[in-house]
Amino acid sequence: MELPIKVEGVLFSKVDGRFQFLLIKRSIEDGGFWQPLTGTLEDGEKVLDCLRRELIEEIGTENPKEISEDFFRFDWKNKRGETIVELVYGVELEPNSKVVLSHEHTDYKWCEYEEAIQLLGRENNKKSLEAFVAAFSN
């Protein structure tokens, strides 16, 4: 059973000291928009286990370089009016990591911050990326 808790992974690598972000594009049936990695917590599952499961399912990655502590949280309402809690993590990948998309996605793209902000389809995902940059750009 899915719980009203979602995880989001801001996927990134550092190339020449600059962040590169990996965005994935939902299939047309699922909205056709660009997003970071997202998933829904299942009954009995731990949050980081959910994130690791989604990494395998959505981009075929079993061993990220590093996963940060959650650095951002937001709440939103689904179509049924239920409150959903979304916890956001930074997930560092090796540069040029191999990406194997699931059936839920049709494309992926590595890009810098400015392009990522332009491509992201949802305001909450843009805010997550902004929070990531604010938290990790020291």
Going residue by residue through the chain, which has 138 residues, state the pLDDT in tens, using 9 for 90 and above. 667 999 999 999 999 989 999 999 999 999 999 999 999 999 999 999 999 999 999 999 999 999 998 889 999 888 899 999 999 999 999 988 889 999 999 999 999 999 999 999 999 999 999 999 999 886
Q: Which of 57, 53, 55 is nearest to 45 (CA)?
A: 53
Please tell me the distance from the alpha carbon of residue 134 to that of residue 116, in angstroms, as a whole number.
Answer: 15
CA dist 114 → 38, 107, 126, 133 (Å)? 21, 19, 11, 11
Domains annotated on the chain, with CATH: 2-136 (3.90.79.10)
3-state secondary structure of 81: coil
Please tell me the distance from the alpha carbon of residue 107 to that of residue 33, in angstroms, as a whole number.
Answer: 10
